[in-house]
Amino acid sequence: MFKQGNIIKLLGILAIPLLIASQIIILKGIWQQKDEMLYSRYRSLTQEAAASLRSSGQYIDPYDTVRIILDYASKQYADELVEIKSDSAELTSKKQDIYDYFLIALNEEQDYSAYLSGFFERMGFEKDFIHRIVINNLDIIDGDTINIYRDDSFRNFVPSFTAASHGSKSSILVQRQWFSGNNYNLNFEYYIDFSDKQKMILRETATSLAMSILSIILVVTLFIITYNNMIKEKRLSDLKTDFINNMTHELKTPLATITVAGKTLEMDKVRQNDGMILDTAKLIGKQSVHLNQLINMILEISMWERTQFELSKKPTNVTDIMNDILLSFQNGGGKTAKIDTDLRLDDISAELDTVYFTTMINNLLSNAVKYNERNPEVKVKGLVENGMVHISITDNGIGITKADQRHIFEKFYRASGGNIHKYKGLGLGLYYVKKIAEAHGGDVKLTSRPGKGSIFTVVIPC
Ligand code: ADP
C-alpha cells in the first residue's frame, strides 16, 4: 500500500511541474499569436490611415513644417561645411550636430503622429503609442554631396530590408520617406510602438490565462486531496492493525484467567473446599463481566459507525451527577488517586444522557490515573461560563506530546511513545469522550505537557 503511495507521490511530483510547463508553453503560444495579431491589426490600420490621408480631398502634408525647417537649416549647414576641412575632428562633430538636428526636427515637428492617433481613435482602437524616427541616410548638398550619416544595413530600399532591423519586434514600420531638398537628401523611417501593448495583450488573453491557472489549481488540489486521503486510509489501516493486536491482548487476559480458573475447579483439593470454589466462581464471574464489557464496547462502536447514535437526554443537576461519578470512582478504579474537587456549578442543570455522560467522565478519570507514573493527583473543576458547563480534569501524569495531541481523539489511536502494552487500552476511550461531548452539543479540549500532566476539559451547553 505504501509503495503505491510513494509511486503516486512521485507521479504527482513529476506531473504537476509538467502540467505547469505545458500550460506556460500554451500560454506563450497564445501570447505570441495575440502579439502578431495586434501587430498586423495596427499595421493594416496604419496603411488604411496613410491611404485615407492620400485620398482625402484636401491633402495635408504632415511633414510640411519639417520640410520648411530642414530646407532652411540644410542651406546653413551647407555653407558651414564648405568652411570645414575634410577629415578633421571638427567635421565629425559637425556631422553629429547635423544628424541630431535633423532627428529632433523630424521627431518634434511632424504632425503624422497626431493624425494617426486621431485615426485610431475614430476607428475605435487604442490611440496611445510612441513614435520613433530612424534616419537611414542623410546627405548635405552643396555642389558636392557630403554624406552625414548612413546606416550600414540600409541599401536603398532593397526588398530584403526588414523593419525588425531597426528596433524591437513590436515596432510597426508605418512609412519610409525620401525627402529631397535643395541642399539635402534624407531617407528615414517612421515607426510606432504601443506603450500599453502588454496590457492590451493581457486583456485579450485574460480568459485563457485564468482558465490555465484555474486548471492548475484544480489539479494540484485534487492531487493533494487524493494523496491526503490515501495517507489517512493508510493510517487508519495501521491503527486497525494496532487495535486488533491490543484487542487480542485485552481479550486474552480474562480468557486466560477463566481457563486457569476452570482448571482449578477440576482439582480435587479445590472441589472439597467451598471457600475456594466460591472465590474461583467469583473470579470467573468478574472476568466474564470484563470480557462482556470489552465485547459490548466494540459492538457499540460499530453501531455508532452505522447509525447516528442517539442520546436520551433529560435535565440533570450537573453537581449531583458529578458527585455520584466521583464517589463511585473513588471507591473503584480511583482508589489509589488523590482527587481534589472544586465544583462551582451552583444548581446548574443540563440536558444530559446520564449513562453516556458517566461513561465520558469515567473514561477521563481512569485515563488520568492510568497514564501516570507518580502518585496520581487529579483535580476536578467545574464552572459555568457563557451558558456552557466546563468540567476539567487535570492530572499529574505522563502528558501527551504535541504530535499525539492532534490524533488523540481518533478511533483506535494510542500515543506511540513508550511501551504500548505498558498501559492497557484499545484507543477507544477518548474517541468515545469526543463523540459523547459532541452528541451533547459540546466539545472536549486538551492541553498537555509531556512529563507534567494533562488537562481535559469537557464543555457542554446548559
Ligand atoms: P486507551 O486508554 O484505551 O489507549 P484512549 O482513547 O482513552 O485509549 O486514549 C488514547 C491515548 O491517549 C492513550 O493511548 C494514551 O496514550 C493517551 N492518553 C489519554 N489520556 C491520557 C492522559 N490523561 N495522560 C496521558 N496520556 C493520555
d(CA 379, CA 369): 11
**Distance from residue 423's CA to the centre of ligand 1 (Å):** 9
- CA-angle at 296, arms to 260 and 431, nearest 5°: 115
Q: Which residue in 230, 244, 234 sits closest to 412, CA to CA?
A: 244
Q: Over its length of 462 residues, how does the chain's per-residue pLDDT go in tens digits? A: 556 667 877 887 888 888 889 989 998 998 888 888 888 888 888 888 888 888 876 677 899 999 999 999 999 999 999 888 877 889 989 999 999 999 999 999 999 999 999 999 999 888 888 899 999 999 999 888 899 998 876 554 433 333 334 445 567 888 888 999 999 999 999 998 876 778 888 888 888 889 989 988 998 899 899 889 988 888 888 878 877 887 788 888 889 999 999 999 999 888 898 998 999 999 999 999 888 888 887 777 777 666 666 788 999 999 999 999 999 899 887 888 999 999 999 899 999 999 889 989 999 999 999 999 989 999 999 999 999 999 999 999 999 999 999 999 998 888 876 455 677 777 888 998 999 999 999 999 999 999 999 999 999 999
Q: Whose C-alpha lies nearest to ligand 1, atom 11?
A: 414
Q: Whose C-alpha lies nearest to ligand 1, atom 7?
A: 429
pLDDT given for residue 232 in this prediction? 86
Helix (H/G/I), strand (E/B), else coil: 461:
strand
Asked if residue 381 lies in contact with residue 342, where contact means CB atoms within 8 angstroms, the answer is yes
pLDDT given for residue 161 in this prediction? 34
**Distance from residue 73's CA to the centre of ligand 1 (Å):** 98
pLDDT given for residue 361 in this prediction? 96
pLDDT given for residue 58 in this prediction? 64
What is this structure's pTM? 0.53
Counting from 1 in the atom list of ligand 1, the atom nearest the Cα of 397 is 24
**Distance from residue 345's CA to the centre of ligand 1 (Å):** 27
Q: Whose C-alpha lies nearest to ligand 1, atom 3?
A: 425
Q: What is the amino acid identity at position 258?
A: I
d(CA 452, CA 396): 6
Which residues' Cβ are closer than 6 Å to ligand 1?
A: 363, 367-368, 371, 395, 397-400, 408, 413-415, 425-431, 454
Please report the DSSP string for 85-96 in residue order. PTTSHHHHHHHH
**Distance from residue 405's CA to the centre of ligand 1 (Å):** 10
Q: Whose C-alpha lies nearest to ligand 1, atom 17?
A: 415
Maximum pairwise Cα distance, the chain: 151
Counting from 1 in the atom list of ligand 1, the atom nearest the Cα of 430 is 6
- Quote the DSSP letter at residue 165: G
CA distances from 238 to 5, 160, 414, 420, 422 (A): 14, 74, 11, 14, 19
Pocket test for ligand 1, best of 290, 359, 363, 367 (most atoms within 8 A of CB): 367
Counting from 1 in the atom list of ligand 1, the atom nearest the Cα of 414 is 14
d(CA 355, CA 439): 13
CA distances from 366 to 227, 330, 350, 387, 459 (A): 37, 10, 23, 28, 19
Cβ neighbours for 29, distance < 8 A, ≥ 6 positions apart: none
pLDDT given for residue 60 in this prediction? 77
d(CA 116, CA 125): 11
Q: Whose C-alpha lies nearest to ligand 1, atom 27?
A: 371
**Distance from residue 424's CA to the centre of ligand 1 (Å):** 10
pLDDT given for residue 38 in this prediction? 84
